[in-house]
A and B are shown apart, each in its own frame.
Chain A
Amino acid sequence: MTTTTAAPAATGRRAPRRQTLARRQAVWGWVFALPATLHIALWTGFPILVAMLLSLTHYDMLNPPSWAGISNYTAIANDPLFWRAMWHNLIIAAVGIPVSMLLALVLAVLLNQGVRGTGAFRTAVFLPHVTATVAIAMIWLWIYSPGQNGLLNYVGGFLGIPNQPFLNSPSQALPAVILVTIWQGLGLKTMIYLASLQTIDQQLYEAAEIDGASAVQRFRHITVPILAPTTFFILVTSIIGNFQTFDLIYVLTSGGPANSTTVVTYEIYETAFQQFRMGLASAQSVVLLVVLVVLTVLARRLTGGRDD
């Protein structure tokens, strides 16, 4: 009896202590999370809320905002240039992201072979990512320069290819921009893939090899599934990064010629800082946010919903 009565008593004494500990841990958890929470609330949450609010106003920065209801959203719906910019973003994403991801995966697999000079090659691949976009754009401006002053036309001249206008042509400018985005984004994607590849247990490959799996089968049935969360991460960040592209367009083409390379962020900039229609620019930003959320959900579905 003594034993049976003593045990619940002991348990009864321990339970409050555990609750106190859990509560303490929770409190400290919140304390540690507080700076980041405040930071996000102040610098992300508040601006988003203000942007949503301003999207319902007419505001030119020089006069106080006035209530506009949903007229800014109606204006966006009827603005062919905004949707053209959105279409350009989608084209850049649809063409540029898969190509750059595929190239990055191939490069990462090659870099993971451990051959000599890999370190230097990794650095070379990563260099465009750490180079300022403005500098990259200036270099590509020279590469794409029309006439024999441009590197591509100069090289093409040796091969008998006539001078191409590249960025001065409405039909060539967007592909030219896509090429730069692929080149610029390759480094980071490759490094992320490479880091993931290096975490794969080699015993899996050895076991598959013993079972008679070919190199392609090993890649398809071991590498690709294990890299799925990485692929999802790269896909989502690439989509978001693609829709945030601004500086490259600003320096390379300013959205031209004839708006053939304009993108959503450039249109938001033009609306906000050239036309001073901050309400409309805020509404455009909200629409962009919604599109990004939709694309992110779609990307999650496409990659099987795995992000662990």
Chain B
Amino acid sequence: MELNRRNFLTAAGLGVGGLLLGACGSGGGTGGGGGGTGRVSILTPEFAGTEGKETFEGTILSGFPDTSFAVDYTDWNRLNEKLSAAVAGGVVADLIMLGAGWVEPFAHKGVLAELPDSLADGKAINENLFKVAGYEGTTYAMPYFVDGRILMYHREMFDKAGISEDALPTNLEDFREMLKEVKPDGGVAIDLFTQNLRQVWAHLLGAFGGSMFSEDGMSVAFTDGSGVDALQYLLDLVDDGTIDFSVQGAEGQPRPWQQKVAAIDLQNSSAWPSLTEQTPELVTPESMGMMLLPSADGGDPVMFQGGTLLAVSSRSKDPELVQELVSFLLEPENMLPAVEMVGKVPSRDDLDDPIVTDNLMATYIIDNFEYATAYEGGSPAWMEVRGAVEGEIEAAVVGQKTAAEAIDALASLANDALTRV
């Protein structure tokens, strides 16, 4: 090997990557290695804790024949760095569970293997959910769980304001007026700040007909006015007093909506298990109503789509085996215990089982799969941009910047990131 500056830099970089991996790696030392026939490594942000591990490995994976598994559990906050450190260290797990908006960056970097469309045959996965699973016309992942964002409201507060279920607003202007009516004394009409503010803005961006990036993901799209409109709408709600930045859920405590400090909550469907455990009386059909965020122009409502995708590493030594595992995980008998454990919405819409049908949020979201859209991501540069969005949106919400200034700053960051793609 010729010794030159580039080789030396590569070696140094990989050395640091290796050190980082060593520092970040789990004690078990079972992650990756590319796998081989009969052995599959898995990186997952789901199934945390003893019960989750028991369900995933003891109940689900144990049914996959003649294969041993090395599962690396992490959480969503650390998945990004864990995956990238693994790529740098050359020890990527064979099966990777990742989120909506993640496929484009990692497919672009060559981390993910192409998947045959036939893998979804007979799986009853809603076609709309595949929008987040591909890049440049190629499928790189299979939808596993869906995290939909819907509006949950207290029926008693709506009844008190004289708003019936049949007369819910169908555009954002009417929605804004309704918020003024349902605001409880000393509280807020809607809790938009317990959720990740980046996703709230992205959701509103969708309501204003915008998107973050162009179709090919190579240019910024929210500078067409929709980005400012979405943020300005948020600021208008602050001015109305129907939302308040200081009213937001704290770690380990019930959300403002659960404390009846907020009439409406923009909720992630993955919260269903904690809601039913902490405040079961609030999440009955009699107490709780659900609706989707209306669009600005009164057209179709919008539902922010997050979720968990199954992808195969391009470095897997036995991709066929891992694809078989993906297919296996999507079978109803294997998906149901997984859904029961994590409390999320399955990507299949044909699971007629109390595990799904008793989950009111899940059934509502499945009924509205057609509106599900991943309003964030969509570009190879996304992973670099996503961390900066919340700070800019917050700066506008707390009055440090105008909507236009915040969006300009965000656009500048995104354009800068795109130049490095």
Chain A interfacial positions (CB closer than 8 Å to B): 47, 50-51, 53-54, 57-67, 81, 138, 141-142, 145-147, 149-150, 163, 165, 168-170, 255-259, 262, 270, 273-278
**B109 CB within 8 Å of chain A:** yes
Question: How many interface residues does B have (CB within 8 Å)?
Answer: 44
Give the top 6 A-B pairs by smallest Cβ distance, nearest first: A165-B246, A274-B387, A273-B81, A258-B394, A61-B88, A64-B10
Residues of B within 8 A of A81 (CB): 391
A147 to B85 CA separation, bound complex (whole angstroms): 40
**Interface-facing stretch out of B15-23, B332-340, B356-364:** B15-23
Contact yes or no, A275 B391, CB < 8 A: no
Cβ of B367 < 8 Å from any Cβ of A?
no
A258: min CB distance to chain B, Å: 4
* A168 B13 Cβ-Cβ under 8 A: no
Q: Quick check: A255 and B391 within 8 Å, CB to CB? A: yes
Complex Cα distance, B248 from A141, in Å, reads 13
Interface hit among B62-70, B121-129, B222-230, B395-403: B395-403
Interface status of B9 (Cβ within 8 A of chain A): yes
Query: Which residues of chain B are near A163, meaning CB under 8 Å?
Result: 246
Residues of B within 8 A of A270 (CB): 387
Q: Are B394 and A138 in contact (CB under 8 A)?
A: no
Contacts of A258 in B (CB 8 A): 391, 394-395, 397-398, 400
Query: With an 8 A cutoff between CB atoms, is B1 at the interface?
Result: no
Tell me whether A256 and B88 are in contact (CB under 8 A): no
Instruction: Tell me the minimal C-beta distance from B195 to chain A in angstroms.
Output: 14
Chain A CB count within 10 A is highest, among B9, B247, B253, for: B9
C-alpha spacing A247/B286, complex, angstroms: 43
Q: Of the candidates A146, A262, A275, which one forms a contact with B246 in the assembled complex, judged by CB atoms under 8 Å apart? A: A146
Of A58, A147, A256, the most chain B CB neighbours within 10 A belong to: A147
CB proximity of A39 to chain B, nearest CB, Å: 15
Residues of A within 8 A of B9 (CB): 53-54, 57, 59, 64-67
Known: A61-B13, A62-B110. 16 other contacts (CB 8 A): A47-B16, A47-B19, A50-B16, A59-B9, A61-B85, A61-B87, A64-B10, A64-B13, A81-B391, A138-B252, A146-B248, A149-B253, A165-B246, A258-B395, A270-B387, A278-B13
Which chain A positions have C-beta within 8 A of B383? 274-276
In the complex the two chains form, what is the Cα distance from A67 to B81 in whole Å?
Answer: 23
How far apart sit A269 and B261, CA to CA, in the bound complex (Å)? 35
Cβ–Cβ contact A169 & B246, under 8 A:
yes
Q: Which of B267-305 contact A (CB under 8 A)?
A: none
Within 8 A of A (CB), among B381-421: 383-384, 386-388, 390-391, 394-395, 397-398, 400, 417, 420
Q: Give chain B residues whose Cβ lies under 8 Å from the Cβ of A63.
A: 109
B residues apposed to A, CB below 8 Å: 5-6, 9-10, 12-13, 15-17, 19, 80-81, 84-85, 87-88, 109-111, 245-248, 250-253, 256, 259, 261, 383-384, 386-388, 390-391, 394-395, 397-398, 400, 417, 420
Bound-state Cα–Cα, A273 to B87, Å: 13
Q: How far is the CA of A270 from the CA of B16 in the complex (A)?
A: 17
B403: min CB distance to chain A, Å: 14
CB neighbours (8 Å) of B245 from chain A are: 165, 168, 257
Write the chain A residue with the least CB distance to B417. Answer: A275
**Bound complex: CA A66 to CA B81 (Å):** 21
Q: State how many angstroms separate the Cβ of B4 from the closest Cβ of chain A.
A: 11
Smallest CB gap from B87: residue in A: A62
A-B contact pairs, 5 of them (CB 8 A): A65-B10, A141-B252, A168-B245, A258-B398, A270-B387
**How many Å lie between the Cα of A210 and that of B182 in the bound state?**
78
Asked if residues B84 and A273 are in contact (CB atoms below 8 Å), the reply is: yes
A169 to B248, CA, bound (A): 11
Give every chain A residue within 8 A of B386 (Cβ-Cβ).
Answer: 274
Contact between B394 and A256, CB atoms less than 8 A apart:
yes
Closest A residue to B21 by beta carbon equals A61
**Nearest A residue to B110 by beta-carbon distance?**
A62
User: A256 touching B391 by the CB < 8 A rule?
Assistant: yes
Chain B residue, CB-CB nearest to A148: B259
CB-CB nearest in chain A for B261: A147
Least Cβ–Cβ distance between B44 and chain A, in angstroms: 19
User: Which residues on A sit within 8 Å (CB–CB) of B250?
Assistant: 141-142, 145-147, 149-150
Q: Which of A47, A149, A275 lies in contact with B387, CB distance below 8 A?
A: A275
A67 CA to B7 CA, complexed, in Å: 11
User: Does the CB pair B109–A170 fall under 8 Å?
Assistant: no
- Please, how many angstroms separate the alpha-carbon atoms of A258 and B395 in the complex? 5
Question: In whole angstroms, what is the CA distance A260 to B5 when docked?
Answer: 40
CA gap between A61 and B247 in the complex, in Å: 39
Contacting pair B12 A65 (CB below 8 A): yes
How far, in angstroms, from A145 to B417 measured CA to CA in the complex?
A: 36
- Given known pairs A62-B87, A169-B246, A278-B16, the reply for A141 and B398 (CB within 8 Å) is no
Instruction: Determine whether the beta carbon of A147 is less than 8 Å from that of B247.
Output: yes
Task: Please name all residues of chain A whose beta carbon is closer than 8 Å to the beta carbon of B84 when the two chains form the complex.
Answer: 61-62, 273, 276
Q: Which residue of B lies closest to A43 (CB)?
A: B19
Give B379 Cβ to nearest chain A Cβ, in Å: 14
**Which residue on A lies nearest to B17, using beta carbons?**
A61
In whole Å, how far is A262's beta carbon from the nearest beta carbon of chain B? 8
Select the residue from A63, A64, A258 with max chain B CB neighbours within 10 A: A258
- Is B384 in contact with A276, judged by CB distance below 8 angstroms? yes
Complex CA–CA separation, A51 to B15 (angstroms) = 11
| Residues on A with beta carbons closer than 8 Å to the beta carbon of B417 | 275
Given the complex of chains A and B, what is the CA–CA distance between A67 and B417 in angstroms? 17
- Structural contact, A170 and B81, CB atoms closer than 8 A: no
Per a CB cutoff under 8 Å, which of A50, A149, A256, A273 touches B80? A273
The interface residues of chain B lying within 8 Å CB-to-CB of A66 are 6, 9
Contact among A50, A141, A277 for B384, CB-based, below 8 A: A277
With A and B bound together, what is the CA distance between A252 and B358 in angstroms? 36
- Separation of A50 and B12 alpha carbons in the complex (Å): 6
Asked if B15 and A50 make an inter-chain contact with CB atoms under 8 angstroms apart, the answer reads yes
- The answer for the CA separation of A97 and B19 in the assembled complex, in Å, is 33
A contact residues around B259 at 8 Å (CB): 147
The reply to whether B384 and A275 form a contact with Cβ atoms under 8 Å apart is yes
Taking the nearest CB of chain A, how far is it from the CB of B169, in angstroms? 28
